[in-house]
Amino acid sequence: MMSSSIDALNAQHTTTPAQDIVNLAIRDIFPERIALVSSFGTESAVLLHMVARADRTTPVLFLDTLKHFDETLAYRDRLVARLRLENVRTVQPAASDIVATDADGMLWSSDPDACCRVRKTRPLEREIMRFRALFTGRKRHHGAARSVLQPFEADGPRIKVNPLVHWDNADVSAYLDRYGLPRHPLADKGYPSVGCAVCTSRVQPGEDFRAGRWRGTGKVECGIHKMLRPD
């Protein structure tokens, strides 16, 4: 899909409701060629629910870094059962990569970018090769580079579909309440954004939504939402 086509999609769907964008992507634009990449984090239930409403057989890629909070894994299992998701695929780092680069499991403390490459970027890169497009739950209110997100964006040979770009915390909370969806167990314990347990800390009142991610390192993204290139 050329950039002009993406520009046309964004111009046409700048105010299209999120559920309609999900339906359109699954049924019309990318039938059987789109997957949802989900962290099963604090806001994940919204997009998972929308995808389930459109087609429960849509592939959901869960990137298991082997460093997740136990609460996240339990939340994943609860949502899969609640939404009756039929095609959840767990993506893990290759055992050989872990042995070669992070045998003691402490790479996150010395080189978090390298840790993300071996535990996130490489495994996901292998898995997404079969898809033409990917759903993400990124939103403009997250700030930084996300503040200029569009519903559709080019990412190398693939298209990223971001149905929730205009949503904020209030929208997410209202949606969860409307459909009776469970909240992440850590959401009310000072973790508005949850990643790996070793790299996520509590956020204090007044801090940025993602302040607890890689605190003190200057790192703001894990890399999976940037252009994926071979190492």
For residue 38, list its beta bridge partners.
62
Percent of residues, the chain, with pLDDT higher than 90: 69
Is it the case that residue 34 has pLDDT exceeding 80?
A: yes
Phi, psi values for residue 196, rounded to 5°: -65, 145
Q: Residue 25 is which amino acid?
A: A
pTM of the model: 0.87
Choose, from 115, 196, 199, 222, the residue flagged as catalytic: 222
User: In angstroms, what CA-CA distances link 16 with 12, 13, 119, 151?
Assistant: 8, 5, 35, 9
Is it the case that residue 117 has pLDDT exceeding 80?
A: yes
User: In angstroms, what CA-CA distances link 175 with 23, 120, 164, 179?
Assistant: 17, 29, 12, 6
4: confidence class by pLDDT, cuts 50, 70, 90: low
Under DSSP, is residue 136 helix (H, G, I), strand (E, B) or coil?
coil
Strand bridging mode 152-155 / 158-161: antiparallel
Q: What's the pLDDT at 227?
A: 37
Helices (H), the chain: 3-12, 18-24, 44-54, 70-83, 95-101, 107-110, 112-116, 122-127, 169-178
Is it the case that residue 221 has pLDDT exceeding 80?
A: no
pLDDT in tens, 87-110: 999 999 999 999 999 999 999 999
Mean pLDDT of 131-140: 91
- Is pLDDT larger for residue 34 or for residue 14? 34
Q: Is 196 a known active-site residue?
A: no
pLDDT in tens, 174-193: 999 999 999 999 999 988 88
Mean pLDDT of 51-71: 97
Q: What's the pLDDT at 144?
A: 63
Measured CA to CA, the distance from residue 231 to residue 228 in angstroms comes to 9
Task: Give, as one character, the DSSP assignment of residue 134.
Answer: E
Q: Which domains does the chain have, with CATH numbers?
A: 3-199 (3.40.50.620)
